[in-house]
């Protein structure tokens, strides 16, 4: 978060807002923080399933009360209803996170392609696709083909993974 905020503070639009006379608090909260959170939300969405599964191990080792320990106790007691409820909640959480990550990828690529977002030095699919638009005129049609195909394949695979997890872990579908 700190590195992302330090990067945002040096952007031109933040300096412009300060030059217009806006208070520092307004500039930091409304301009810098909003754009810094986009990167944080995207990265957190990828790590949430690991945190949920790690809770079972952590709570069992340290004896902390929580959903992970409740899962282990229900597993030992062969309480199927409790196990199904915990797995359903975890599955819904993982599926929702997976679908949101795919949406974030598409939105980030579209914003970078249109040139409306913040220019990062890192390569992104939207920047790559925007930079190779001139390749069509020179006969190099394959330059935009591969980033576009990989973008579509990545988004589809994340969506299919979320749908597959939803179908596999749906208690109501197993009749």
Spans of all domains in the chain: 1-72, 79-175
pLDDT at 63: 81
**pLDDT tops 80 at residue 84:** yes
Output the CA torsion sign for 96, 99, 104, 107: negative
Please check the confidence at residue 175 and state whether its pLDDT lies above 60. Answer: no
Q: How confident is the model at residue 146 (pLDDT cuts 50, 70, 90)?
A: confident
**Inter-residue contact 50 to 106 (CB < 8 Å):** no
**In the numeric block, which tokens belong to residue 55?**
């809770």
pLDDT confidence tier of residue 96, bands split at 50, 70 and 90 = confident
pLDDT value at residue 118? 66
- Inter-residue contact 91 to 167 (CB < 8 Å): no
State residue 77's pLDDT score.
92
pTM, to two decimals = 0.45
Judge contact between 113 and 126, C-beta under 8 A: yes
Structure tokens at 3: 């590195």
169: nearest Cα among 65, 53, 45, 64? 53
The mean of the pLDDT values for the chain is: 77
Summarize the confidence of residues 124-140 as an average pLDDT: 74
Q: What is the mean pLDDT of residues 65-82?
A: 85
Q: Grade residue 169 by pLDDT with cuts at 50, 70 and 90.
A: low
């Amino acid at each position: 978060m700190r590195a992302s905020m330090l990067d945002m503070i040096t952007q031109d639009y933040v300096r412009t807002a300060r030059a217009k006379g806006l208070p520092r608090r307004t500039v930091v909260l409304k301009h810098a923080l909003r754009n810094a959170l986009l990167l944080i939300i995207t990265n957190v969405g990828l790590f949430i399933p690991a945190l949920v599964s790690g809770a079972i191990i952590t709570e069992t080792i340290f004896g902390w009360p929580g959903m992970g320990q409740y899962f282990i106790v229900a597993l030992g007691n062969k309480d199927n209803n409790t196990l199904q409820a915990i797995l359903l909640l975890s599955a819904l959480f993982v599926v929702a996170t997976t679908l949101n990550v795919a949406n974030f990828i598409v939105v980030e690529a579209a914003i970078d392609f249109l040139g409306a977002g913040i220019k990062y030095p890192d390569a992104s699919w939207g920047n790559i696709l925007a930079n190779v638009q001139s390749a069509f005129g020179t006969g190099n049609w394959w330059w935009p083909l591969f980033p576009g195909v990989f973008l579509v394949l990545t988004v589809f695979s994340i969506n299919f993974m979320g749908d597959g997890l939803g179908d596999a872990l749906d208690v109501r579908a197993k009749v």
